[in-house]
Amino acid sequence: MRDVTLRALDTLRVADLIVAEDTRVARKLLRALGIEGREIWSYREQNAAAVTDGIVERARTAVVAVTSDAGMPGISDPGSELVAAARAAGVPVEVLPGPSAALGVALLSGFPLRRFVFEGFPPRSSGARRKAFGAAMDAGATTIWYESPQRIDAALADLDAVAPTADVFLVREYTKLHEEHIYGKPAEVRSRLTERRGEIAFAIAPGPPGPSAASYAPEDNDAAIDALLVQGKRVGEIAKLLAGQGRGDRQSLYAQASKRKQASDAKGRKAPRPEPDDQ
């Protein structure tokens, strides 16, 4: 609440209509700012299609202010489609600067920001997440992500599977009372995260320059797997080690190592046994 700008206060005070993601959250904010008795309409993902035209029509002749529960409207919260509808209808739109977790985590991370990419939320399935994280490590830029508290453990586990040595910086509850910062490798960040609730954003530093997974032929991985098997390494250890070298995603390498181990074991069982000495 203390991060509201003077321009935002001016706008909320003169607005004829306030459009809110959650009217209860908006009323709490307005009470804290000493602004009460305002007309508030609900605008959220579930009702956007039904109320967008009415909001745009009202904005033709009145000042309409759009707020969200956290962060800037239109990033991960509702708002971008409303802006597009207003533009199409010829209704002018202004954006009042305010806190954004994407920029906050980027700056707090200390990672290179000459070029960075906002990726939004990772895919929901593990396989798609690993593919997205693998592509991020090859992008040569810092990447910024949002994640829900219910999926952050799974996301960090998948990042650990693909890039266990990646540098990660996570911010929970940016600009709020219980703001938390965690830096480390994916497994370290996961173990040190104290709460699984609130708003979460994290940054991944660009991967080190070097050969990508695509530059390794399957036979190259076969040879590396066989050598590690001879050393007595377990399949899981091999997959994690080779994934950390950028030879592919951990799940695929696990399957490849399992196949090589089965072939090796089968070959060992088929080896001819020496004949017993005659007595």
Compute CA 242 distance to the chain's CA centroid, rounded to the nearest angstrom: 24
In this predicted structure, the answer to whether residue 276 has a pLDDT above a threshold of 60 is: no
Third-level CATH fold of 101-204? 3.30.950
Residue, of 138 and 107, whose pLDDT is higher: 107
133-156 pLDDT tens trace? 988 988 889 999 999 999 999 999
Q: What is the mean pLDDT of residues 233-257?
A: 82
Output the 3-class SS for 37-53. CCCEEECCCCCHHHHHH
Alpha helices (H) in 66-208, listed in sequence order: 80-88, 101-109, 126-138, 152-162, 186-192
pLDDT at 183: 97
**Structure confidence at residue 279 as a pLDDT band (50, 70, 90):** very low
Q: Residue 260 corresponds to which amino acid?
A: R
Residues pairing with 182 in the sheet: 170
pLDDT at 277: 55
pLDDT at 273: 57
Domain boundaries, the chain: 6-88, 101-204, 213-269
Most confident of the following: 98-107, 123-132, 142-151? 142-151
Most confident of the following: 43-52, 237-246, 247-256? 43-52
pLDDT at 227: 84
Q: What is the mean pLDDT of residues 261-277?
A: 69
From the number of C-beta atoms within 10 Å of its C-beta (0-12, 13-18, 19+), residue 248 rates as: buried
Compute CA 46 distance to the chain's CA centroid, rounded to the nearest angstrom: 23
206 within 8 A of 133, measured Cβ to Cβ: no
Coil, strand or helix: which one is 176? coil
Q: Which two tokens stand for residue 245?
A: 């070298």
Give every CB contact of residue 15 below 8 A, 6+ residues apart in sequence.
38, 63, 64, 65
Q: Look at 70-74, 76-80, 248-252, 273-277 and tell me which has the smallest mean pLDDT.
A: 273-277
Q: What percent of the chain has pLDDT over 70?
A: 90
Mean pLDDT value across the chain: 88
Give every CB contact of residue 222 below 8 A, 6+ residues apart in sequence.
256, 260
Q: What is the mean pLDDT of residues 259-270?
A: 80
**Structure confidence at residue 79 as a pLDDT band (50, 70, 90):** confident
Determine the CATH number of domain 6-88: 3.40.1010.10
In this predicted structure, the answer to whether residue 113 has a pLDDT above a threshold of 80 is: yes
42 within 8 A of 23, measured Cβ to Cβ: yes
Q: What percent of the chain has pLDDT over 90?
A: 54
Strands (E), the chain: 17-20, 40-42, 64-67, 116-120, 142-147, 168-172, 180-184, 200-204
Cα(26)–Cα(30) distance, rounded to whole angstroms? 6
209-238 pLDDT tens trace? 544 455 566 667 888 888 888 888 888 888
Residue, of 180 and 79, whose pLDDT is higher: 180
